[in-house]
Amino acid sequence: MRRHAIWAMGLAAVLGWQVSWAAQPPRHEESKSPPGVKVLKDLAYVPDGHERHKLDLYLPEKAAEHPLPLVVWIHGGGWEAGSKEGCPAVPLVDKGYAAASINYRLSQHARFPAQIEDCKAAIRWLRAHAKEYNLDPQHVGVWGASAGGHLVALLGVTGGVKELEGDEGNLDQSSRVQAVVDWFGPTDFATVGAGLSNPHSPVSKLIGGPPQENKEKAAKASPVTYVGKDAAPTLIMHGDKDNLVPIGQSEELAAALKKAGAEVVFQVVKGNGHGGPDFLNPENRKLILDFFDKHLRGKR
């Protein structure tokens, strides 16, 4: 029952993706968390960086005997809102994982590729501090919704793309991830549709103008551009009633990954829109856990 309540709180945070964020004062001490879980708040993953260069790390209160595989949550919010609060990956700590939730610079702070550079910087920082927090640096997964789904999909296909790494520290570490769970993220800005590509849309704010007028920038920000056989195993979940990000965006990415020979699982969440209660129903919770277990813990 406790784990179900935690999953529900995480889902509520996901569905509230339009809620604006507020800057939080630095709090590096442990704060309130679910029973059995300790959370380290507002760890700076870029020294002397932007106020959004912070992450929260969730660990078991009882020290694990072996380094823990890590799942990193990346929030949505149209790249212009959202927060690391309410991480739906926290229940995985009960299942033998560490979890992290990151903030990143929003489109009003910096245009793309700042957002993916921040995500990569956070992954590199977590690897650089793996021994300190008993993390397994060889087994890092990512999970995100909407704009966060876009960013985790990008992480999954750009492990070797130097032009998206940025220069925000720990460049001796890899930003490559070993598993991706993409919830209804835009994947191809050239085909994303009128609702997300008008001059005042979140996509236009992200890349600096409408995609149809900025084709090179749109391609650079699109996960489908980088798909190859070395892409991380990817679980894509999308509601068939999504009126914001068309399900065709996920279908296109899934087809590209399959054609390239990469591992991909595509789950249509029937009757749900841009989010919805069935994304974390018991069947889909098990699907997510089994996917991470397979690729981060070697369980078949």
Tokens of 100: 């992290």
Note the pLDDT of residue 34.
81
Contact 33, 56 (CB under 8 A): no
Query: Of 172, 155, 119, which Cα lies nearest the Cα of 233?
Result: 155
Question: In the predicted model, is pLDDT for residue 198 greater than 90?
Answer: no
Tell me if the bond preceding 26 is cis, omega within 30° of 0: no
Q: How far apart are CA 133 and CA 100, in angstroms?
A: 11
Per CATH, the homologous superfamily of domain 2-14+24-296 is Alpha/Beta hydrolase fold, catalytic domain (3.40.50.1820)
Q: How far apart are CA 121 and CA 169, in angstroms?
A: 7
The tens digit of pLDDT for each residue in 38-81 reads: 999 999 999 999 999 999 999 999 988 899 999 999 999 999 99
**pTM tops 0.75, yes or no:** yes
The tens digit of pLDDT for each residue in 146-185 reads: 999 999 999 999 998 999 999 999 999 999 999 999 999 9
Note the pLDDT of residue 32.
57
Spell out the domain ranges in the chain: 2-14+24-296
| Residues 70, 75, 81: CA angle, nearest 5 degrees | 155
Note the pLDDT of residue 300.
67
